Amino acid sequence: MAMVASAMASSIIGSINQSSDAADANNKFYKGLCDYVEANAQVFYAWSATTPPPASVPDPMVVIQAKIKTSGSLSPSGATDCASALSAFASTLNSNASLWVIQWPTGFALSPAFVIPTITFTPSMADNQQSAMTHICQEIINGLKKATPTASGSHGSFIGVASFTSIL
């Protein structure tokens, strides 16, 4: 399943609307975001590998489908306006690369796992919660899709390089 901004937004809003206070809403926002990305992001790499010389037999596996694994938490920013809150959120996502890592399929040992691109947020000027959250979610998805990492390592006896191709 691919990531869809409106579905991500609905999932997050459903979590937030069950909150008892602002701190709880903040935690549920981040958990809703992470749960959605983990369940729906499909990450693809082109894989080029061979066994060590002298044989140098190519790996028949040429495409890797991986998943994103998330961790950490989102601290309340203390922001009192939308622009400051979005800036604080972007800073948290962009400064902590360990929040987003690639979970490789069984048998692959590759690194670096994932380099999240810089995500920026702009005010949506939306007049309702669903539209505003969909705008934020689309910017997260757009940012993730700009990732261009490569990773090197092994797949069983094969040694090679994985080149990022896309996130759906």
**pLDDT (tens digit per residue) in 15-26:** 899 888 888 888
Q: Is residue 72 a part of any domain in this protein?
A: yes
Max distance between CA atoms of the chain, in angstroms, equals 65
Joined together, the tokens standing for residue 109 give 């040992």
The pLDDT of residue 84 is above 80: yes
Which residues, 6+ apart, have CB-to-CB distance to 131 below 8 Å?
124
The pLDDT of residue 103 is above 70: yes
Cα dihedral 128/130/136/138 (nearest 10) = -130
Q: Is residue 155 a part of any domain in this protein?
A: no
Region 20-33: mean pLDDT is: 86
Residue in 40, 19, 39 with CA at minimum distance from that of residue 29: 19
* pLDDT computed for residue 153 by the predictor: 95
Give the chain's domain count. 1
Q: Is residue 50 a part of any domain in this protein?
A: no
* pLDDT computed for residue 9 by the predictor: 97
- How many CA atoms within 13 Å lie on the side-chain side of 137? 25
* pLDDT computed for residue 115 by the predictor: 66
- Position 51: which residue type? T
How do residues 106-150 score in pLDDT, each as one tens digit? 999 998 766 666 788 888 889 999 999 999 999 999 988 887 678
In terms of DSSP H, where are the helices of 62-113? 82-95
CA distance 46 to 110: 13
Residue in 72, 75, 5 with CA at minimum distance from that of residue 36: 5
Owning domain of residue 131: 5-41+68-146
* pLDDT computed for residue 26 by the predictor: 83
| Helix, strand, coil abundance in the chain, percent, nearest 5 | 40, 25, 35
Q: Is residue 57 a part of any domain in this protein?
A: no
Decide: helix, strand or coil at residue 98. helix
- Determine the straight-line distance between the first and last CA of the chain, rounded to whole angstroms: 8
Q: Is residue 154 a part of any domain in this protein?
A: no
* pLDDT computed for residue 23 by the predictor: 81
Q: Is residue 29 a part of any domain in this protein?
A: yes
Residue 52 CA to its chain's centroid (Å): 33
* pLDDT computed for residue 97 by the predictor: 62
Q: Is residue 152 a part of any domain in this protein?
A: no
* pLDDT computed for residue 98 by the predictor: 65
The pLDDT of residue 57 is above 90: yes
Q: Identify the helix (H) or strand (E) that includes residue 152.
A: strand 150-155
Q: Is residue 22 a part of any domain in this protein?
A: yes
CA distance 33 to 12: 6
